[in-house]
């Protein structure tokens, strides 16, 4: 079964053709990062406009790369939640038009479910149930993946997402948006023990994250040095390494707590921050020590892409999920609201 998948929830216009949930026949991503970088973050109005301008060409390219005509496609899939509402609506409207005109079924896909499915592409042996750490620019979740379409959110961030914290810390030490990958690079040259940064305390659920205190600690570190006229004494590489080390410790600690309590011996990590070399190494180390089988996505499937949406759409299709012309975008929608038990 060939699915043409469309993703436009944030600042990437992406289309892919995926066969039977694992074979990626094409994967086209048109990123808008260069333009949003000028503003230090994603400007929703610009994102929507660029999606409108790009989506036809991106979808055509995805069909061409897959050596397919629309007639060869069995279903159209689209991300409908969560995300920037104007951005989502571009992909949804395009997908609805395509599905109706071509007489194909329309499959609505949750963006986080898509990130989780990114690991099925590279690892066909990964099968639910397992524990999943989702770390992206907008989300940080520990999720029990009960089945391909059934989830329980065990922990979530109370404030900033992991990627958001990376981007904000990066900005403070002078890196361009999105700063996650710059921190990753700088951290390789820095001393992770140069600065002692706090592990935020989170009251209530022991599996919840909080990253805003850590971000504030970096802000204070830089501001205080600037006020003392000692800005030059701050080493961006040392701050990057210390920050990344602390984020890794927090992610490892919470995820392992959940894995231990619930007896999981299989873990997957996904989302834009799963591209981080420190996070990958820290997870590999701790999972190796504890005999936990770890699955990480290929780098090209960590950030937003439509291949992961096409992969998840296959399982959603098998589970009977369909949308009609009334499909709407939803800016905020917890995964277990629609797919829990
Ligand atoms: O999953 P994603 O593409 O978009 C959302 O669904 O939010 O994640 C984007 C986030 C950004 O915050 C970006 O800085 C971060 O992923 N990111 C990284 C790295 N590559 C991307 N963070 C740390 N290290 C990286 N190598
Ligand atoms: Zn994403």
pLDDT level of residue 159 (50, 70, 90 thresholds): very high
pLDDT at 10: 96
Q: Does domain 128-300 have CATH number 3.40.920.10?
A: no
Confidence band of 339 (pLDDT split at 50, 70, 90): low
Q: Which residue did the predictor score with more confidence, 190 or 204?
A: 190
Does residue 336 register a pLDDT over 90? no
Show the tokens assigned to 281.
């190494």
Count of positions (residues) in the chain:
341
Q: CATH says 2-116+304-339 is which class?
A: alpha beta
| Ligand 1 pocket test target in 13, 166, 188 with most atoms within 8 Å of CB | 166
Q: 100 C-alpha to center of ligand 1: Å? A: 34
User: Helix (H, G, I), strand (E, B), or coil: what is residue 60?
Assistant: helix
First-residue to last-residue Cα distance in the chain: 27
Assess whether pLDDT exceeds 60 at residue 341.
no
Using DSSP's 3-state secondary structure scheme, residue 43 falls into coil
Among candidates 116, 127, 119, 118, which has minimal Cα distance to 152? 116
Instruction: Determine the pLDDT at residue 232.
Output: 87
User: Torsions phi, psi of 128, nearest 5?
Assistant: -65, 155
In eight-state DSSP terms, residue 157 is B
Do residues 29 and 304 touch, judged by C-beta distance below 8 A?
A: yes
Q: Is residue 172 predicted with pLDDT exceeding 80?
A: yes
Residue-by-residue DSSP string for 265-327: -EEEEESGGGG-HHHHHHHHHHHHHHT-EEE---GGGTSS-SHHHHHHHHHHHHTT--B-TT-
Indicate if 128-300 has the same CATH topology as 2-116+304-339. yes
β-bridge mates for residue 5, sequence order: 16, 77
> Residue 13 pLDDT > 80, yes or no?
yes
Does ligand 1 lie within 6 Å of residue 310's CB atom?
Answer: no
Q: Decide which of 149 and 341 is more confident.
A: 149
pLDDT tens digits along 289-310: 999 999 999 999 999 999 999 9
Q: Is the CB of 94 under 6 A from ligand 1?
A: no
Task: Give the residue extent of every domain in the chain.
Answer: 2-116+304-339, 128-300
pLDDT score for 85? 98
CB 136 near ligand 1, within 6 Å: yes
Ligand nearest to the CA of 308: 2
Q: What is the pLDDT of residues 20-52, one digit of tens each?
A: 999 999 999 999 999 999 999 999 999 999 999
Q: At what angle do helices 180-187 and 277-290 cross, to 10 degrees?
A: 70
- The DSSP code for 176 is P
- Whether 271 is in the pocket of ligand 1, judged by its Cβ within 6 Å, is yes
Mean pLDDT taken over the chain: 96
Question: Does the beta carbon of 137 lie inside 6 Å of ligand 1?
Answer: yes
200 C-beta closer than 6 A to ligand 1: no
């Amino acid at each position: 079964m060939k699915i043409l998948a469309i993703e436009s929830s944030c600042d990437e216009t992406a289309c892919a053709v995926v066969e039977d949930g694992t074979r990626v026949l094409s994967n086209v991503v048109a990123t808008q990062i260069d333009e949003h970088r000028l503003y230090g973050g994603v400007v929703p109005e610009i994102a929507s406009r660029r999606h409108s301008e790009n989506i036809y060409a991106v979808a055509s390219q995805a069909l061409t790369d897959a050596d397919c005509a629309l007639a060869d496609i069995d279903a159209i899939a689209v991300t409908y939640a969560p995300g920037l509402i104007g951005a989502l609506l571009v992909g949804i409207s395009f997908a609805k038009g395509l599905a109706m005109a071509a007489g194909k079924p329309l499959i609505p896909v949750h963006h986080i479910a898509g990130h989780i499915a990114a690991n099925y592409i590279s690892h066909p042996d990964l099968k639910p149930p397992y524990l999943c750490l989702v770390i992206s620019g907008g989300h940080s979740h520990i999720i029990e993946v009960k089945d391909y379409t059934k989830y329980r959110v065990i922990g979530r961030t109370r404030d900033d997402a992991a990627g958001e914290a990376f981007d904000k810390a990066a900005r403070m030490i002078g890196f361009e948006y999105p700063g996650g990958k710059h921190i990753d690079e700088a951290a390789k040259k820095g001393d992770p023990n140069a600065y002692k940064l706090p592990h935020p305390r989170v009251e209530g659920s022991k599996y919840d994250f909080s990253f805003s205190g850590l971000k504030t600690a970096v802000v204070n570190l830089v501001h205080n040095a600037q006020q003392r006229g000692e800005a030059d004494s701050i080493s961006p590489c040392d701050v990057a390494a210390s920050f990344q080390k602390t984020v890794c410790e927090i992610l490892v600690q919470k995820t392992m707590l959940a894995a231990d309590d619930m007896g999981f011996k299989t873990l997957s990590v996904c989302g834009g921050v799963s591209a981080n070399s420190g996070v990958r190494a820290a997870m590999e180390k701790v999972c190796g020590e504890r005999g936990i089988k770890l699955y990480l996505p290929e780098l090209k499937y960590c950030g937003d892409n439509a291949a992961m949406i096409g992969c998840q759409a296959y399982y959603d299709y098998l589970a009977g999920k369909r949308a009609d012309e009334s499909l709407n975008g939803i800016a905020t929608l917890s995964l277990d609201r629609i797919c829990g038990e």
